[in-house]
Amino acid sequence: MAVVNVNPGESIESALRRFKRKVMTEEIIKDAKKHAFFMPPGQKAKLKSALARKRNKKKGRPRPRPTS
């Protein structure tokens, strides 16, 4: 759980910024989305392999050369 204490003299905006950064680094949103619904183990494995295929395909793609 992300907890941010507001320091004396600190604005709410900066404390909110620190809170958002802490939530991002602890990956709380990603974890909540992952546990939002049940996914059978077989479907989870298919998704994992599909993401790996997509990642490998993207990695193997040639980069466009700069036209300068």
Is the pLDDT at 61 greater than 90, yes or no? no
Give the separation between CA 14 and CA 21, rounded to whole angstroms.
11
Please report the pLDDT score of residue 62 as a whole number: 75
Helix, strand or coil for residue 55? helix
Residue 68 has pLDDT above 70, yes or no: no
Question: 57 or 2, which is more confident?
Answer: 57
Q: Tell me the pLDDT band of 18, cut-offs 50, 70 and 90.
A: very high
The structural domains of the chain, with segments of one domain joined by +, span: 12-59
| Each residue's pLDDT tens digit, 26-52 | 988 888 888 898 989 999 999 999 999
Q: What is the largest CA-CA distance in the chain?
A: 53
So what's the pLDDT on residue 67? 77
Alpha-carbon gap, residue 43 to 66, rounded angstroms? 41
